[in-house]
Amino acid sequence: MYRLGIDVGGTNTDAVVMKGKDVLAGIKAPTSEDVTTGVVAAMNGAIAQAGIDRANVSNVMIGTTHFTNAVIERKHLTQVAAIRLGLPATACLPPAVDWPQDLKTVVGDHGYLVRGGYEFDGREISPLDEAELIRIAKDIQSKDLKAAAITCVFGPINAEMEQRAKAIIQEHCPGLPVVLSTDIGRIGLLERESATIMNASLLRLAAKTVDAFGDALRDAGINCPFYITQNDGTLMAAETVKNFPVLTFASGPTNSMRGAAFLTGVKEAIVVDIGGTTTDVGALQQGFPRQAATVVDVGGVRTNFRMPDVFSIGLGGGSLVREQNGAVAVGPQSVGYKIIQEAKVFGGQTLTTTDIAVASGKAQVGDPAKVADVDPALAKTAMDTITSMLENAVERARVSPELIPVIAVGGGSILMPDSLGDLTVIRPDNFAVANAVGAAIAQISGEVDRVFSLEKTTREECLVLAEQEATQNALAAGAVAETIQVIEREDVPLAYLPGNATRIHVKVVGEMGGSNE
Amino acid sequence: MAYQVTQSDLEAIALGGAFLGTGGGGDPYIGKLMARQAIAEHGPVTVIAADEVADDTLCVPVFMMGAPTVMLEKLPSGDEILKALAELETFLGKKAGALICVEAGGLNSTIPFMVAAATGLPLIDGDGMGRAFPELQMVTFTMHGIASSPMVVADDKGNSALMSTISNLWTERLARVVAVQMGGAALVAAFPMNGADMKKALLHGTMTTIRDIGNTILSERKASRHPGAALRAMTGGAHLFTGRVVDVQRATEGGFARGKLTLRGIDDFAGQEFLVHFQNEFLLAETATGAPICMTPDLICALDADMGLPVTTEQMRYGMTVEFSAIPADPQWHTPAGLELAGPKYFGYDHEFRPFTTGERA
- Strands A288-289, A279-285: pairing is antiparallel
H or E stretch covering A491: strand A485-494
H or E stretch covering A440: helix A434-440
Q: State pTM to two decimals.
A: 0.79
Judged by CB atoms closer than 8 Å, whether chains meet at A120 and B317 is answered as no
Of all residues in chain B, the percent with pLDDT exceeding 70 is 96
Highest-confidence segment of A299-308, B121-130, B248-257: B121-130
Task: Quote the Cα angle for B235-A291-A470, to 5°.
Answer: 130
Judged by CB atoms closer than 8 Å, whether chains meet at A120 and B33 is answered as no
Lowest-pLDDT choice from A127-131, A181-185, B53-57: A181-185
Domain positions in chain A are 77-203, 313-433, 443-511
Q: What is the pLDDT of residue B2?
A: 93
pLDDT digits (tens, 9 = 90+) for A164-221: 999 999 999 999 999 999 888 777 899 999 999 999 999 999 998 899 888 888 888 8
Q: What is the pLDDT of residue B362?
A: 36
Angstroms from A184 CA to nearest CA on chain B: 15
More confident residue, A460 or B20: B20
pLDDT score of A481 more than 70? yes
Q: Which chain A residue has its CA at the smallest distance from B228's CA? A: A399
Facing residue for A189 by CB, picked from B72, B315, B317? B72
With cut-offs at 50, 70 and 90, classify the pLDDT of residue A124: very high
Across the range A413-440, mean pLDDT stands at: 89
Judged by CB atoms closer than 8 Å, whether chains meet at B74 and A293 is answered as no
Facing residue for B73 by CB, picked from A87, A153, A495? A153
What is the distance between the terminal CA atoms of chain B, rounded to a whole angstrom? 44
Judged by CB atoms closer than 8 Å, whether chains meet at B77 and A493 is answered as no
Judged by CB atoms closer than 8 Å, whether chains meet at B317 and A490 is answered as yes
Fold of B225-342: CV3147-like (2.40.390)
Across the range B22-49, mean pLDDT stands at: 92
Hey, is A405 helix, strand or coil? coil
- What is the rounded CA–CA span in Å between residue B297 and residue B351? 12
- Strands B203-204, B238-253: pairing is unpaired
pLDDT digits (tens, 9 = 90+) for B289-346: 989 999 999 999 999 887 789 988 877 877 678 999 999 999 999 999 999 999 999 9
**Residues of chain B with a CB closer than 8 angstroms to some CB in chain A:** 29-30, 33-34, 37, 67, 69-70, 72-79, 156-158, 183-184, 224-226, 248-253, 304-309, 311, 315, 317-322
Angstroms from B342 CA to nearest CA on chain A: 26
More confident residue, B173 or B45: B45
Q: Which chain A residue has its CA at the smallest distance from B218's CA? A: A396
Q: Are A244 and A383 in contact (CB under 8 A)?
A: no
Angstroms from A122 CA to nearest CA on chain B: 9
- What is the rounded CA–CA span in Å between residue B147 and residue B136? 11
Judged by CB atoms closer than 8 Å, whether chains meet at B75 and A495 is answered as no
**What number of C-beta contacts closer than 8 Å exist between A and B?**
129
| Backbone torsions φ then ψ of A343, nearest 5 degrees | -65, 145
Facing residue for A119 by CB, picked from B183, B226, B250? B183
Facing residue for B77 by CB, picked from A91, A291, A486? A91
Facing residue for B34 by CB, picked from A93, A154, A292? A93
Q: What is the pLDDT of residue B254?
A: 57
Compute the Cα dihedral for A481, A487, A492, A493 and give only its sign: positive
Angstroms from B298 CA to nearest CA on chain A: 25
pLDDT score of B359 more than 50? no
Q: Which chain A residue has its CA at the smallest distance from B79's CA? A: A92
User: What's domain B3-206's architecture?
Assistant: 3-Layer(aba) Sandwich (3.40)
Q: What is the pLDDT of residue A336?
A: 81
Judged by CB atoms closer than 8 Å, whether chains meet at B77 and A90 is answered as yes
Judged by CB atoms closer than 8 Å, whether chains meet at A399 and B226 is answered as yes
Q: What is the pLDDT of residue B358?
A: 55
With cut-offs at 50, 70 and 90, classify the pLDDT of residue A6: very high
Judged by CB atoms closer than 8 Å, whether chains meet at B224 and A489 is answered as no
Of all residues in chain A, the percent with pLDDT exceeding 70 is 95
Facing residue for B78 by CB, picked from A91, A302, A489? A91
- What is the rounded CA–CA span in Å between residue A469 and residue A477? 12
pLDDT score of A291 more than 60? yes
More confident residue, A409 or B316: A409
Q: Are A250 and A231 in contact (CB under 8 A)?
A: yes
Compute the Cα dihedral for A358, A360, A363, A369 and give only its sign: positive
- What is the rounded CA–CA span in Å between residue B19 and residue B28? 10
Q: What is the pLDDT of residue A401?
A: 63
pLDDT score of B360 more than 60? no
Whether omega before A95 lies within 30 degrees of 0, making that bond cis, reads no
**Mean of all residue pLDDT scores within chain B:** 91
Q: What is the pLDDT of residue A515?
A: 41
pLDDT digits (tens, 9 = 90+) for A229-284: 887 778 887 888 899 998 888 777 788 888 998 999 998 899 999 988 889 888 88
Contacts of B252 in chain A (CB under 8 A): 120, 493, 495
- What is the rounded CA–CA span in Å between residue B109 and residue B211? 10
Q: Which chain B residue has its CA at the smallest distance from A113's CA? A: B77
Angstroms from B358 CA to nearest CA on chain A: 24
Angstroms from A456 CA to nearest CA on chain B: 18
Angstroms from B267 CA to nearest CA on chain A: 13
Angstroms from A231 CA to nearest CA on chain B: 16
Q: What ipTM does this complex have?
A: 0.83
Lowest-pLDDT choice from A55-64, A69-78, A248-257, B239-248: A248-257
**Mean of all residue pLDDT scores within chain A:** 87
Bridge partners, B259 (sequence order): B250, B278
Mutation target among B64, B70, B72, B73 for the A interface, most CBs of A within 10 A: B73
Facing residue for B306 by CB, picked from A89, A91, A293? A293
Per-residue b/e over B38-57, b at no fewer than 16 CB within 10 Å?
bbeeeebbbbbbbebbeeeb
Across the range A327-347, mean pLDDT stands at: 88
Name the nearest CA neighbour of A329 among A364, A349, A347, A356. A356
Lowest-pLDDT choice from A513-517, B91-95, B328-332: A513-517
Domain positions in chain B are 3-206, 225-342
Q: What is the pLDDT of residue A488?
A: 79
Contacts of A301 in chain B (CB under 8 A): none
Give the C-alpha distances (Å, rounded to integers) separating B14 from A246, B9, B111, B307: 29, 9, 10, 17
Judged by CB atoms closer than 8 Å, whether chains meet at B306 and A86 is answered as no
| CA contacts within 13 A on the Cβ side of B220 | 25
Across the range A33-45, mean pLDDT stands at: 86
More confident residue, A225 or B159: B159
More confident residue, B39 or B270: B39
H or E stretch covering A201: helix A189-219
With cut-offs at 50, 70 and 90, classify the pLDDT of residue A294: low
pLDDT score of A26 more than 50? yes
Contacts of A489 in chain B (CB under 8 A): 318
